[in-house]
A and B are shown apart, each in its own frame.
Chain A
Amino acid sequence: MHPRDLLNEAVAGLLARPVRSALTTLGTVLGITTLVVTLGVAATAGDQIVGRFDELTATSLTVEVPEHPFPLVEWADVSRVTRLRGVVSAAALAESEQSANLVVRSNDVVDPARVTDQTLTVLSSSPGLPAAVKGRMIEGRYFDAGHIARGDKVVVLGRHAAELLGITRLTRAPAVFIGTQAYTVIGVLGDLEREKSLASAVILPPAAGARYGLGTVTRVLVNTGLGAAELIAEQAPTALSPGNEALLQVIAPPSPTRARDAVEGDVNALFLILGLVSLVVGAVGIANVTLVTVMERIAEIGLRRALGAARRHVAAQFLLESTLTGLTGGVIGASGGIVVIVVVCAVKQWTPVMDVRLAVLAPVAGAVVGLLAGLYPALRAARMEPVNALR
């Protein structure tokens, strides 16, 4: 039997009952549409979410320094991180439970009725902190290497801490008292984009902080350029503490690729099941209708056998009919799915993202579903004895 004859007979068989063929195709159309929409929307949404990853999240990382018998990171080690290509700013912090709630008092008491004692967090940092927390000095300046080297008793207040202590201007060189120790306020730090809790903190130079258990670096804040975070996350521990890098813990932003994969994975897992269920329903529909068609066409099968059709010819025709049904469903489903994706993206003002292979694979999937669904009916048709079929 010539393949073109086989194709002609299969197409003619389908066109003989156009309404039924169309309704049979519908199951596959729905299944493939669901699959294409699922995969397309997942890819689009994933890309969209990654696109909205803000710069801050994508460029901020923190290196946590655990307690250790000897300091794992020295204050000066931060400079090695800032020299790494891709690092925009970095600063070291020292925090301790002991200094988390210290009584701080301002000295410019004007109103005796006013409470000037405040319980505030005291910590120490290296000089680059304003840049590292993406803030700015609202008043005065931040301490520098000179203050640290000289052991100056200076302090920088977070904006909120300054307000609590009633310090609004620095022209009179106000001081604050931590316990009995007086420190000159040289600056007020505010507009923090990162580590916003520092707005309520009192920040000392490392040397001064040692008095409150703040002599050892506990965290290093690092800001990177866009796209450099993953690399810096690998390099920073080595730069900070060569030989002990394994002891340091890096909290890095999620990778855009991983985030997109995660989103796609979440969406796919849910809707792929729906799509596959729809496909299975479509396959069962094709199998049922093909089986009914075989039963209705017993006389035709008998005639074809009488005309010299072998069992394989009969099986091939019914298989091709169900495969064509699935393929048609796949083509229509893939087209419909793409239209749905485009409409969804137009409404949401997203950029449609879709794997081009889907446009080819979806119809193929439909054809495979049709082929599998037609196996049993085709086998039934092929097994019919001509004498029984013609009876």
Chain B
Amino acid sequence: MPEPVILLDDLTREFPADPPVRALSAVSLRVERSDYVAVVGPSGSGKSTLLNMLGLLDRPSGGSYRLDGIETTTLDDGARTTIRGSRIGFVFQSFHLLPHRSVLENVMLAEVYGAAPRAGRRDRAMRALERVRLSHRVGFLPGTMSGGERQRAAIARALMGEPSLLLCDEPTGNLDSRNTDAVLDLFDELRAQGMTIVVITHESDVSDRAGRRVRITDGTLTEE
């Protein structure tokens, strides 16, 4: 039986305060390959903290997190950075595209820090842009494109290097309904192609499109 992409076991995150603030409380979660999971919950419930844990952007206070079968909580900073760069694709609410670089350069940036060879990087970036139907915008600067196009460019960047997990933080938060639908359609396509997707959202129309929905309330995760 293949390893799940994500396996959280009693994952806890406490922030130092008096008394300590427990943002995640013994969270357990199993996400299989090709799962499309929406994490929903109100503001302050711990969604962002969970995303930071899943994205190896922050360290848990306790518990276990296995990504593709690798126990990540015991890894040093360098190893976590390598795994983050090679196995996780990020999609942010505010796109995080470099404004002075073209769409193609923004997408190619995803492979600058990894082990992927320089040769063929441009072709791979072009293929990623074709997957999100943005190959006609390669030379454009992000500021000249619509929000939906920018988010698709960010998704193309996240797809570079064929990551195991697409981690999306409010991916439609800055989009109108038409562009939201376009992005969600894209997620459906990616899932159909075998991509594992975890979407953090507070929008019901986004979470409704996911195959599975988990709710986080006061740091505790429940399956819906």
14 contacts between A and B (CB under 8 A): A1-B113, A2-B118, A9-B112, A12-B105, A299-B96, A300-B96, A302-B96, A306-B55, A306-B57, A308-B82, A308-B114, A309-B81, A385-B57, A387-B52
Contact between chains at A306 and B118 (CB < 8 Å):
no
User: Does residue B100 face the partner (Cβ distance < 8 Å to A)?
Assistant: yes
Residues on B with beta carbons closer than 8 Å to the beta carbon of A12: 98, 100-101, 105
User: Could you mark each residue 300-327 of chain A with 1 if its beta carbon is under 8 Å from any beta carbon of chain B, else 0?
Assistant: 1011111111110100000000000000
Which of B105, B113, B118 interacts with A307 by CB under 8 Å?
B113
- Kindly state whether residue B47 has any CB partner on chain A within 8 Å: no
A4 at the interface (CB under 8 A from B): yes
User: Is B210 positioned at the interface, with any CB of A under 8 Å from its CB?
Assistant: no
Q: A9-B112, A310-B113 are in contact. Are A305 and B81 (CB under 8 A)?
A: yes
Known: A308-B81, A309-B81. A386 touches B113 (CB 8 A): no
With a cutoff of 8 Å between Cβ atoms, the chain A residues found around residue B96 in the complex are 299-300, 302-303, 306, 390
Complex Cα distance A305/B101, Å?
A: 18
Q: In this assembly, does A16 line the interface, its C-beta being within 8 Å of a C-beta of chain B? A: yes
A4 to B112, CA, bound (A): 10
In the complex, chain A residues whose CB is within 8 Å of the CB of B78? 310
Q: Are B100 and A309 in contact (CB under 8 A)?
A: no
CA distance A2 to B117 in the complex (A): 9
In angstroms, Cα B109 to Cα A5, docked, is 9
- 0/1 interface trace, chain B 84-108, chain A, CB 8 Å (1 if under): 1110001010101011110001000
In the complex, which residue of chain A has the Cβ closest to the Cβ of B88? Answer: A306
B92 neighbours in A (Cβ, 8 Å): 303, 390
Taking a contact as CB atoms under 8 Å apart, the answer to whether B77 and A311 are in contact is yes
Residue interface mask A1-42, B partner, CB < 8 A = 1:
110110001001001100000000000000000000000000
**Chain A interface residue count: which class?**
20 to 34
Chain A, 41-61, contact with B by CB distance < 8 Å: what is the 0/1 string?
Answer: 000000000000000000000
Shortest distance between the CB of B147 and any CB in chain A (Å): 17
When distances are taken between beta carbons in the complex, the residues of chain B under 8 Å from A307 are 85, 90, 109-110, 112-113, 157
The reply to whether A308 and B86 contact each other, CB–CB distance below 8 Å, is: yes
Nearest chain A CB to B85 CB, angstrom units: 2
Residue pair B57, A1 in contact (C-beta under 8 Å): no
Closest A-chain residue to B53, C-beta based? A387
A16-B100 CB under 8 A given contacts A2-B118, A387-B58 = yes
- Chain B residues 44 to 83 lying within 8 A of chain A, measured CB to CB, are 52, 55, 57-58, 77-78, 81-82
Q: Which residues of B contact A16 (CB under 8 A)?
A: 98-100
* Cα(A300)–Cα(B97), bound, Å: 8
| Nearest opposing residue in chain B for A17, CB measure | B100
Chain A residues near B77 (CB-CB < 8 A): 310-311
- Whether the Cβ atoms of A309 and B58 lie closer than 8 Å is no
- Which of B57, B98, B99, B113 is within 8 Å of A309, CB to CB? B113
Bound-complex Cα distance A304 to B111 (A) = 11
**Chain A neighbourhood of B94, CB < 8 A:** 299
Contacts of A304 in B (CB 8 A): 109, 113
Closest 6 CB pairs of A and B: A308-B85, A16-B100, A308-B113, A387-B57, A387-B58, A303-B96
A309-B118 contact given A12-B101, A303-B96, A386-B57, CB 8 Å threshold:
no
| A390/B57 contact (C-beta < 8 A), A5-B118, A307-B85, A308-B84 known | yes
- Tell whether, in the assembled complex, residue B52 and residue A4 are in contact, meaning their CB atoms are under 8 Å apart: no
Smallest beta-carbon distance A2→chain B, Å: 6
A4–B85 contact, CB under 8 A? no
Write the nearest CB–CB distance from B154 to chain A, whole angstroms.
10
1/0 per residue, CB under 8 A from B, across A369-391: the answer is: 00000000000000001110010
Instruction: Give the chain A neighbours of B90 by CB distance below 8 A.
Output: 306-307
Complex CA gap A310/B81 in Å reads 6
A87 to chain B, nearest CB (A): 75
Q: Given contacts A303-B92, A390-B92, list 10 more A-B pairs with CB under 8 A.
A: A299-B96, A300-B96, A305-B57, A305-B81, A306-B90, A307-B85, A307-B112, A308-B82, A309-B112, A309-B113
In the complex, what residue of chain B is closest to A390 when comparing beta carbons? B57
Once bound together, how far apart are the Cα atoms of A283 and B99, in whole Å?
28
Across the two chains, which residue of chain B brings its CB closest to A2?
A: B118
Question: What are the residues of chain B within 8 A of A303 when measuring CB–CB?
Answer: 92, 96, 98
Q: What A residues does B85 contact at CB under 8 A?
A: 307-309
Closest A residue to B121 by beta carbon equals: A5
Residues of B within 8 A of A1 (CB): 112-113
Q: In whole Å, how far is A58's beta carbon from the nearest beta carbon of chain B?
A: 64
Give the docked Cα–Cα distance between A74 and B84 (Å).
97
- With the chains together, A310 CA to B112 CA distance in Å? 11
For B86, the chain A residues whose CB sits under 8 A away are 308
B113 touches A313 (CB 8 A): yes
* Least Cβ–Cβ distance between A286 and chain B, in angstroms: 20
CB distance from B14 to the nearest CB of A (A): 15
Please name all residues of chain A whose beta carbon is closer than 8 Å to the beta carbon of B99 when the two chains form the complex: 16
- What distance in Å separates the Cβ of A262 from its nearest Cβ neighbour in chain B? 53
CA of A253 to CA of B52, assembled, Å: 80
